[in-house]
């Protein structure tokens, strides 16, 4: 968990922050409580009032918000001691009216604990018990003390109890694994300590009983059961649960202790079994039960009858057992309460079948009549009575049957009764408790083994299944014979012979699952449905309990039962043994119930401090305004995705929010969604923005959808229509809201600039308007900069006299995008980066696309190539990602950064695959052409490079752009022409650029043009001019243009020592930028220099 210098938060053993392994002083308990609330809900915004609620049981003090601010400030000093004043925090953030602790799960011991427990559960599911025990041991090592020790407040108290309970459950899991691995001796003492400390925990007592039994200490195991029963009855007034009772019975009868199911190899055979072979039994894997029934039948023929109870879970083959007994004994009397249409009078039906048609009578008389009828019918030959689904009998019948059961042992009569075992239904438990002690035999058919399933498969299909398929059917059927048979039938129908799919169309399997659910209790069905709906999220028991609105311990007990009967692979976190079970039950679950489970789980996860994207995942299928209260969670999830440049996922969350939002915020969501879809699906973006704008115009509200919609239209070859829409909407907005109209006017320049034709018309309109208008003056300044009618200093001074202080008070918000662009051209990259740092709709006219494009170009000019890949890469997706359609300009910038990093061929592939459809009507094709030229230059294809650079020149001229700070196509072409020997043409282009660069007057533009002129000098390089260029470029903020100039100067320098110094200077700069394209050349040039004389 520890990493050098990293922050580590420890909550499982007190409360502590470590940095680089050293503990940091945390101060008073309330400050620790604030840390705990933030850490347990890490990466999630928590309001100040929410933090106060976690500190105080009663009403917080009036100064509560100030107290929280004080604690947060102190925690920030601990978490980020090296943060400079006024720098924004990066660990404990402020926003959304609250605070967020941004740490990874691996930076908090609770997160590491959860990961290790999850790894252990998966290892156990895969039967890798050694790894499971190792993971459990590592997890428990984190819990050596009391969690959240000494932390006050209701939140800490609740979390302390939950973490303590979690540790106990993991300790039980660990000890159970030790027993299963044959190390019972090592587990017995810890289990005794655990049961002494927590006497009401049944599971630890069950593990102790199993451990003692494994070591041959059966009497001690039985003592544990007796002590457990006494404690439970005395303390709680309840009997031990099913697991303990079943284990007690196995120990009493001397049966082998239960172990996890093992896969049994099946002897291969290709002998098909004919369907009409009546000699074959109708059941599989039930030899033990059939043998015991046959023995009871034989005893009955000798005059010793009785009651046989066959009990087990629904679907486990009890009816099939009766069918087989009936087949072997055709004269048996058969009653089936399942098919009696609600008639639960078992004794009445039985009396009628035995010839007693009198109605009514007291219970005792009824029992006497039943005994007499059975005695009369068994006088000549033994009587066999088969009763299926006796769970449905009425209480009167149950009393009568209990009364005659002992008396049957003196008659040649045997009653075989099947009962469904439903551990969480009191009526079912009472019926079992009443009849089982009186029975001559109690049979509990378990689930089918793999061998049994293989036999059933052979019977149904006629061939032996592969062992892997039989084992998978075993898991997907939950060992339930009824379900296994249905699944085999569906696999045969679908011609699937080698695997069990995760989903099957409606058929026998889904109907068998539906039948199983109909025979479970409402609570059991609700649990299974909730788990199926939530299974993909791997819910904890606590989440599942919240979804079902039940106590956690009740849910934990139920999950343990479901695991014991084979439906779940593990009980905590609960997980079905096969995805097909979960998918089928989820498909059968009513939509309203599924949504109720998801929202309840989301509510619990939110309170428990789950990451917001994890909470949002529960909500992704919701539809309808009745879920509108969850809109804020989905928006927060989208914001978190945007922070990580995960645009497709952010789009998904906003689409979900749009399905449930209240009508009054629908337009805002449509605009947000449209802005994101500009990256991934421009057609959908246009549709959503058009819907939003239509609504805003109809309701006469601020048309915030206008600018992104116009951008979408103009970038998709509809620029003229976009400008017409802009003009019309701005005019109608001005009639009712002048401020909103001015905001739109201040944003229109970005749309107009997309295409040369709209740019010219736009500026023609501005120049004919009021030149004193602030917006008009600002945009005209930009046009003057485009055409190099003014210099860089003049442009910046006009636009923002106080730019160095980043004072934006003199500019309306959207015009700050102009300032960012001009600052970049002027070489003031610090200002440009500052203006493009944060997403701010007001600064870039609600077009975040434009901000990212400008920012990527600023980073390239600053030489931050790796940063470009980190920031732009997630936005544009993978090279073959068809789901993301980012602006071609951004793809070109990404390729540009790859070139500088020496990855030229990769850059070429990006341009070929993702930039081939650049819109020729907009400036994006110009940018793509420029980067293609740079690829050709890096490959040494000078003439192709020159052709592309000159094409850039034609396109920029058509747009009225002559400023070399935009695209220095003249000097770029000149440098390639020099390499081809065309010095005259090169000098002509370089001289023309130098004249323009002098007018713009920045070190980078002038220095670059001077370098090109020096290299293109008529006879040879003009060394003095090149030296002046180098000196000037050294004054620029970025070293990007300086590095190649240093290489040029080093190659014409006559003094080896000076050349070496120039190359070392270039090397240091190139290494700082990661500019790999220069490093090989520098190394070669250094190698070619004469060695320095020894000193």
Report the candidate in 69, 100, 19 with the shortest Cα–Cα distance to residue 91: 100
Residue 441's SS3 state is strand
Tokens of 94: 């402020």
- pLDDT tens string 955-973: 888 888 899 999 999 999 9
164-167 own/partner pairs: CB under 8 Å, 24+ apart: 165/552, 166/113, 167/12, 167/140, 167/143
pLDDT above 90 covers a percentage of the chain that reads 36
CATH class of 287-446: alpha beta
Residue 528 is predicted with a pLDDT of: 94
- 3-state SS of 297-348? HHHHHCCCCEEEEEEECCCCCHHHHHHHHHHHCCCCEEEEHHHCCCCCCHHH
> pTM for the full model?
0.59
Q: How many CA atoms lie within 13 A of 776 on its CB side?
A: 12
Whole-angstrom distance, CA of residue 541 vs CA of residue 555:
7
Report the candidate in 285, 282, 288, 284 with the shortest Cα–Cα distance to residue 325: 282
The CA distances from residue 294 to 280, 303, 306, 326, in Å, are 16, 15, 13, 12
Q: What is the mean pLDDT of residues 1071-1084?
A: 90
E strand or H helix that includes residue 234: helix 218-235
Report the candidate in 428, 327, 343 with the shortest Cα–Cα distance to residue 386: 327
Contact (CB, 8 A) for 194 and 201: yes
960 sits in the region (left: phi over 0; alpha: psi -120 to 50; else beta) called: left
pLDDT above 70 covers a percentage of the chain that reads 92
Residue 428 is predicted with a pLDDT of: 77
Q: Which residue has the higher pLDDT, 498 or 1040?
A: 1040
- pLDDT tens string 43-66: 777 888 888 888 887 777 777 778
- pLDDT tens string 483-540: 888 899 889 888 888 899 998 877 889 888 888 888 788 888 999 999 999 999 999 9
Tokens of 327: 């087949």
Residues contacting 783, CB < 8 A, separation 6+: 763, 766, 960
Residue 268 is predicted with a pLDDT of: 30
Q: What is the mean pLDDT of residues 78-102?
A: 82
The CA distances from residue 927 to 825, 873, 898, 994, 1006, in Å, are 15, 18, 15, 22, 22
Label residue 260 by pLDDT band (50, 70, 90). Answer: very low
Q: Which of 337-341, 749-753, 924-928 has the highest mean pLDDT?
A: 924-928
Task: Provide the pairing of β-strand 98-101 with 383-388.
Answer: unpaired
Least-confidence region, from 242-246, 255-259, 775-779, 1031-1035: 255-259
Whole-angstrom distance, CA of residue 10 vs CA of residue 1049:
57
The CA distances from residue 569 to 281, 478, 757, in Å, are 31, 9, 67
Task: Provide the pairing of β-strand 333-336 with 383-388.
Answer: parallel
Whole-angstrom distance, CA of residue 101 vs CA of residue 76:
10
E strand or H helix that includes residue 92: strand 92-95
Tokens of 1093: 């004389």
- Number of helical (H) and strand (E) elements in the chain, helices listed first: 51, 13
Whole-angstrom distance, CA of residue 26 vs CA of residue 34:
11
Whole-angstrom distance, CA of residue 278 vs CA of residue 668:
72
Residue 829 is predicted with a pLDDT of: 93
Residues contacting 134, CB < 8 A, separation 6+: none
User: Does the pLDDT value for residue 76 go beyond 70?
Assistant: yes
Whole-angstrom distance, CA of residue 850 vs CA of residue 494:
53
Whole-angstrom distance, CA of residue 1015 vs CA of residue 1048:
8
Q: How many CA atoms lie within 13 A of 1004 on its CB side?
A: 23
| Residue 62: CB atoms within 10 Å | 7
User: Does the pLDDT value for residue 281 go beyond 60?
Assistant: no
Rg (CA), the chain: 40
Report the candidate in 61, 62, 2, 68 with the shortest Cα–Cα distance to residue 35: 68
Contact (CB, 8 A) for 631 and 665: yes
What residues does 416 pair with on adjacent strands?
A: 308, 386
Q: Which of 82-86, 265-269, 488-492 has the highest mean pLDDT?
A: 488-492
Mean pLDDT of the chain: 85
Task: Provide the pairing of β-strand 92-95 with 98-101.
Answer: antiparallel
Contact (CB, 8 A) for 402 and 501: no
E strand or H helix that includes residue 17: strand 16-19
- pLDDT tens string 413-431: 999 999 988 766 777 778 8
Least-confidence region, from 496-500, 658-662, 995-999: 496-500
Whole-angstrom distance, CA of residue 414 vs CA of residue 296:
8
Label residue 271 by pLDDT band (50, 70, 90). Answer: very low
Q: Name the DSSP class of 803.
A: G
Whole-angstrom distance, CA of residue 1075 vs CA of residue 1065:
13
Least-confidence region, from 91-105, 699-713, 722-736: 91-105
Whole-angstrom distance, CA of residue 20 vs CA of residue 7:
7
In the chain, what are the domain boundaries? 1-181, 182-260, 287-446, 451-518, 520-615, 619-661, 664-670+678-765, 770-859, 863-953
- pLDDT tens string 831-859: 899 888 766 544 333 456 778 888 999 99
The structural architecture, per CATH, of the domain 1-181 is Orthogonal Bundle (1.10)
Residue 575 is predicted with a pLDDT of: 93
Whole-angstrom distance, CA of residue 232 vs CA of residue 131:
35
Contact (CB, 8 A) for 612 and 636: yes
Q: Name the DSSP class of 216.
A: T
Residues contacting 226, CB < 8 A, separation 6+: none
- Enter the CATH code of domain 182-260: 1.25.40.10
Whole-angstrom distance, CA of residue 316 vs CA of residue 322:
12
Supply angle C-alpha 690, 695, 698, rounded to 5: 125
Residue 165 is predicted with a pLDDT of: 82
Whole-angstrom distance, CA of residue 1033 vs CA of residue 1042:
5
Q: How many CA atoms lie within 13 A of 608 on its CB side?
A: 20
- 3-state SS of 868-931? HHHHHHHHHCCCCCCCCCCCHHHHHHHHHHHHHCCCHHHHHHHHHHHCCCCCCCCCHHHHHHHH
Alpha-carbon torsion (333, 335, 339, 345), positive or negative: positive
Label residue 119 by pLDDT band (50, 70, 90). Answer: confident
Residue 270 is predicted with a pLDDT of: 32
Report the candidate in 420, 431, 414, 441 with the shortest Cα–Cα distance to residue 333: 414
What residues does 575 pair with on adjacent strands?
A: 570
User: Does the pLDDT value for residue 276 go beyond 50?
Assistant: no
Whole-angstrom distance, CA of residue 912 vs CA of residue 935:
11
Least-confidence region, from 196-205, 251-260, 737-746, 1025-1034: 251-260
Whole-angstrom distance, CA of residue 194 vs CA of residue 232:
16
Q: Which of 17-26, 270-279, 616-625 has the highest mean pLDDT?
A: 616-625
User: Does the pLDDT value for residue 272 go beyond 60?
Assistant: no
Whole-angstrom distance, CA of residue 566 vs CA of residue 34:
43
Whole-angstrom distance, CA of residue 809 vs CA of residue 793:
19
Q: What is the mean pLDDT of residues 437-447?
A: 85
Q: How many CA atoms lie within 13 A of 1025 on its CB side?
A: 17
Q: Which residue has the higher pLDDT, 806 or 1051?
A: 1051
Report the candidate in 135, 104, 143, 144 with the shortest Cα–Cα distance to residue 117: 135
Whole-angstrom distance, CA of residue 1074 vs CA of residue 1072:
6
Supply angle C-alpha 872, 877, 883, rounded to 5: 140
Whole-angstrom distance, CA of residue 933 vs CA of residue 939:
10
């Amino acid at each position: 968990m520890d990493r050098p210098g990293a922050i580590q938060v420890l909550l499982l053993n007190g409360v502590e922050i470590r940095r680089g392994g050293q503990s940091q002083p945390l101060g008073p308990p309330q400050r620790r409580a604030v840390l705990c609330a933030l850490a347990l809900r890490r990466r999630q915004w928590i309001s100040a009032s929410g933090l106060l609620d976690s500190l105080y049981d009663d009403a917080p003090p009036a100064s509560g918000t100030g107290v929280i601010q004080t604690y947060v400030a102190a925690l920030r000093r601990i978490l980020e001691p090296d943060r400079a004043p006024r720098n924004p925090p990066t660990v404990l953030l402020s926003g959304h009216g609250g605070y967020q602790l941004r740490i990874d799960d691996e930076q908090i011991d609770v997160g590491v604990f959860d990961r290790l427990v999850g790894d252990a559960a998966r290892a156990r599911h895969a039967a890798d018990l050694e790894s499971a025990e190792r993971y459990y041991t590592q997890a428990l090592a984190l819990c050596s003390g009391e969690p959240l020790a000494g932390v006050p407040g209701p939140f800490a108290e609740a979390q302390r109890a939950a973490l303590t309970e979690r540790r106990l459950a993991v300790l039980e899991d660990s000890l159970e694994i030790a027993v299963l691995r044959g190390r019972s001796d090592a587990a017995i003492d810890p289990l005794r300590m655990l049961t002494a400390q927590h006497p009401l925990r049944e599971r630890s007592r069950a593990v102790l009983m199993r451990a003692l039994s494994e070591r041959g200490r059966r009497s001690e195991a039985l003592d544990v059961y007796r002590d457990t029963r006494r404690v439970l009855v005395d303390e709680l007034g309840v009997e031990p649960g099913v697991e303990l009772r079943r284990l007690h019975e196995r120990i009493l009868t001397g049966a082998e202790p239960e172990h996890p199911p093992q896969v049994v190899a099946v002897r291969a055979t290709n002998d098909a079994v004919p369907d009409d072979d009546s000699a074959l039994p109708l059941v599989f894997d039930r030899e033990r039960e059939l043998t015991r029934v046959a023995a009871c039948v034989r005893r009955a023929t000798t005059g010793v009858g009785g009651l046989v109870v066959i009990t087990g879970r629904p679907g486990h083959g009890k009816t099939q057992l009766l069918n087989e007994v009936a087949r072997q004994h055709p004269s048996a009397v058969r009653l089936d309460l399942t098919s009696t249409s609600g008639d639960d009078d078992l004794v009445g039906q039985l009396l009628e079948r035995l010839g007693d048609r009198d109605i009514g009578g007291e219970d005792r008389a009824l029992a006497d009549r039943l005994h007499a009828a059975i005695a009369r019918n068994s006088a000549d030959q033994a009587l066999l009575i088969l009763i299926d689904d006796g769970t449905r009998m009425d209480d009167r019948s149950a009393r009568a049957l209990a009364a005659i059961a002992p008396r049957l042992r003196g008659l040649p009569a045997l009653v075989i009764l099947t009962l469904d075992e439903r551990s969480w239904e009191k009526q079912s438990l009472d019926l079992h408790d009443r009849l089982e002690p009186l029975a001559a035999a109690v049979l509990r058919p378990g689930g089918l083994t793999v061998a049994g399933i293989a036999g059933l498969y052979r019977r149904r299909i006629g061939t032996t299944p592969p062992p892997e398929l039989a084992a998978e059917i075993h898991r997907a059927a939950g060992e339930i014979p009824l379900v296994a048979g249905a699944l085999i039938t569906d696999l045969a129908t679908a011609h699937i012979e080698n695997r069990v799919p995760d989903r099957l169309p409606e058929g026998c399997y889904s109907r068998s699952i539906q039948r199983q659910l109909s025979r479970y209790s409402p609570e059991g069905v609700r649990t299974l449905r909730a788990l199926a709906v939530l299974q993909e999220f791997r819910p904890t028991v606590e989440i599942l309990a919240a979804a079902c609105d039940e106590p956690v311990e009740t849910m934990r007990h139920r999950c343990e039962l479901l695991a014991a009967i084979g439906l779940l692979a593990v009980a905590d976190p609960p997980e079905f043994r096969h995805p097909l079970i979960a998918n089928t039950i989820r498909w059968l679950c009513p939509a309203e119930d599924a949504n109720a489970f998801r929202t309840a789980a989301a509510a619990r996860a939110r309170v428990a401090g789950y990451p917001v994207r994890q909470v949002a995942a529960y909500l992704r299928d919701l539809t309808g305004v009745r879920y509108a209260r969850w809109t804020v969670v989905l928006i927060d999830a989208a914001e978190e995705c945007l922070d990580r440049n995960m645009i497709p996922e952010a789009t998904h969350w906003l689409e979900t929010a749009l399905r449930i939002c209240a009508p009054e915020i629908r337009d805002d969501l449509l605009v947000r969604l449209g802005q994101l879809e500009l990256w991934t699906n421009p057609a959908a973006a246009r549709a959503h923005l058009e819907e939003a704008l239509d609504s805003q115009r109809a309701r006469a509200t601020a048309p915030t959808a206008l600018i992104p919609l116009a951008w979408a239209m103009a970038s998709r070859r509809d620029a003229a229509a976009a400008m017409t829409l802009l003009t019309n909407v701005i005019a109608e907005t001005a009639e009712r809201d002048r401020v909103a109209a001015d905001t739109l006017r201040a944003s229109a320049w970005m749309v107009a600039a997309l295409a040369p034709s709209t740019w010219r018309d736009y500026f023609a309109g501005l120049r004919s308007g009021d030149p004193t208008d602030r917006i008009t003056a600002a945009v005209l300044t930009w046009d003057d900069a485009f055409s190099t009618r003014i210099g860089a200093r003049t442009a910046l001074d006009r636009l923002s006299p106080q730019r160095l202080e980043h004072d934006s008070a003199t500019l309306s918000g959207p015009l700050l995008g102009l300032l960012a662009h001009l600052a970049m051209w002027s070489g003031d990259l610090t200002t440009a980066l500052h203006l493009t740092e944060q997403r701010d709709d007001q600064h870039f006219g609600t077009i975040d696309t434009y901000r990212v494009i400008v920012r990527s170009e600023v980073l390239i000019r600053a030489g931050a190539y790796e940063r470009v890949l980190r920031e732009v890469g997630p936005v544009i997706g993978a090279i073959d990602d068809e789901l993301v359609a980012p602006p071609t300009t951004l793809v070109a910038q990404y390729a540009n950064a790859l070139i500088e990093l020496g990855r030229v061929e990769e850059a070429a592939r990006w341009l070929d695959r993702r930039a081939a459809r650049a819109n020729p009507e907009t400036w994006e094709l110009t940018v793509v052409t420029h980067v293609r030229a740079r690829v050709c230059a890096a490959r040494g294809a000078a003439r192709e490079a020159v052709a592309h650079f000159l094409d850039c020149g034609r396109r920029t001229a058509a747009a009225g752009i002559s400023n070399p700070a935009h695209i220095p196509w003249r000097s770029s072409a000149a440098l390639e022409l020099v390499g081809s020997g065309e010095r005259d043409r090169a000098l002509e282009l370089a001289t023309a650029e130098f004249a323009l660069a002098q007018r713009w007057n920045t070190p980078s533009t002038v220095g670059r043009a001077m370098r090109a002129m020096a290299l293109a000098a008529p006879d040879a390089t003009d060394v003095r001019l090149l030296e002046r260029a180098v000196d000037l470029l050294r004054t620029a903020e970025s070293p990007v243009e300086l590095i190649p100039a240093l290489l040029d100067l080093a190659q014409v320098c006559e003094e080896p020592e000076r050349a070496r110094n120039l190359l070392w200077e270039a090397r240091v700069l190139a290494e700082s930028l990661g500019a790999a394209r220069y490093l090989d050349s520098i190394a070669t040039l250094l190698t070619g220099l004469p060695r320095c004389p020894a000193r």
